[in-house]
Amino acid sequence: MVYSNETMGYSPYCGDMVVNLRYTYEQYHGYASLLVCAFGSVANILNIAVLTRKEMVSPTNAILTGLAVADLLVMVEYVPFAYHMYLRPDNYPRSDRFSYNWSLFVLLHSGFSQAFHTISIWLTVTLAVWRYVAVVHPQINRIWCRMETTLSTIALGYLICPLICIPSYLTFNLISRVELLDAVGNRPSANRSDVVGPLRNVTLYFVNVSDLAATTCLSDIVFWVYSVVIKIIPCIALTVLSLRLICALLEAKQRRAKLTASSRKSADKERQTDRTTRMLLAVLFLFLITEFPQGILGLLTLLLGKKFFQDCYQNMGDVMDMLALVNSAINFILYCVMSRQFRNTFSLLFLPAWIPKSNAQGISLGNPTTTQVTQV
């Protein structure tokens, strides 16, 4: 269905195509997000189960476990939100749709998802830094990136990130409004031909911009924190680190070409370390693809003002949510495709006993200083 300018309002910044996309995709977002969340929740539970096995313990895998926990919580919490906002029938009573409990949940959803998504960003940046140190400065890796330091960094992320998001929590609150509804909780039409039972005054609750945000520069602070501190700066850092890692991979390839047959063991060690780096680079690139656009949109909102927010940012909200959910769900596939040790450990844990298990050698998902070869 194509929506006209009269029904939706003209969008000077992004054009009608973006508006049409929003209203078309909105019809499917609820079902699509539930499918992604269902798959992603199971996938992250499997990630946690595999990565916490004794033979898989390493600083890098500890970071990946913390990342899986944050992603899991984001997706589990998104399920009731998607049901309430997108999947309930149009005739669902207005008194229930805007009840205090559901409106409070929507308000809490905003803060919860923001906090744990920020934790995911923190851990992704940590993962990039850890891998960069391991590949480019292996001589100091054992000191800087040991397990104790890694666990402290993960715990710090879970503590600091919710605090960074405090301005966002203060931007919205609940407001109440009394409306005249019929006996089943619906608002009557103008001619009241569809009224069921006697009319009554009902207090409804809505998520709205707080007085603090409306009367101060808090909303600008929130967009600066969200777009620059949480999104753009980490994306720039990841881009730089990823490029350095790619250069390190190319240098390692050149070194291997110069190694003689007597140095075959060293060549194999570098090759397996490179595989781990490639897999982690894939994780980083997926993050950049999903996060950079959100940061740019937030920054443009700061520069261009409220009109851009209404025309572009809001119309892209569901698409950005889906990109973030896909990013949170897809790491399991990357691990299975790119890490033999992850596949072998997964098969030992979850495949039935009558299915033959592979005896191939597998590389560690992330021992950053040595190549961990495991016979399974």
DSSP letters of 3-48? PPHHHH---TTTHHHHHHHHHHHHHHHHHHHHHHHHHHHHHHHHHH
376 has pLDDT over 70: no
370 has pLDDT over 60: no
Q: What residues pair up with 174 in beta bridges, in sequence order?
A: 207
What number is the average pLDDT over the span 103-108?
94
Q: What pLDDT is stored for residue 105 in this prediction?
A: 95
- 340: its two tokens: 């033999």
Query: Residue ranges per domain, the chain?
Result: 15-370
Q: 3-state DSSP call for residue 206?
A: strand
77 has pLDDT over 90: yes
Q: What residues pair up with 203 in beta bridges, in sequence order?
A: 178
Q: Which residues contact 214 (CB under 8 A, 6 or more apart)?
A: none
Of residues 90 and 92, more confidence is placed in 92
Query: What are the pLDDT digits (tens) for 190-208?
Result: 555 556 667 888 899 999 9
Least confident of 27-31, 94-98, 181-185: 181-185
What number is the average pLDDT over the span 114-129?
92
Q: How confident is the model at residue 336 (pLDDT cuts 50, 70, 90)?
A: confident
Contact 30, 87 (CB under 8 A): yes
Distance, in Å, from the CA atom of 349 to the CA atom of 366, rounded to the nearest integer, reads: 19
- 91: its two tokens: 């005739």
224 has pLDDT over 50: yes
Q: What pLDDT is stored for residue 157 in this prediction?
A: 95
What number is the average pLDDT over the span 94-105?
91
2 has pLDDT over 50: no
Buried b (16+ CB within 10 A) or exposed e, 298-326: bbbbbeeeeebbebbbebbebbbbbbbbb
Q: Residue 216, Cβ neighbours under 10 Å: how many?
A: 12
Considering the chain, what is the average pLDDT of its residues?
81
**Global pTM?**
0.82
Q: What pLDDT is stored for residue 67 in this prediction?
A: 95
The hierarchical CATH code for the domain 15-370 is 1.20.1070.10
Query: What are the pLDDT digits (tens) for 250-307?
Result: 776 776 666 655 555 555 555 556 667 777 888 888 888 888 888 888 888 878 877 8
What number is the average pLDDT over the span 328-335?
88
Query: What are the pLDDT digits (tens) for 140-172?
Result: 888 888 999 999 999 999 999 999 999 989 999
What number is the average pLDDT over the span 320-340?
87
Distance, in Å, from the CA atom of 186 to the CA atom of 361, rounded to the nearest integer, reads: 64
Run of H or E residues at 304: helix 264-304
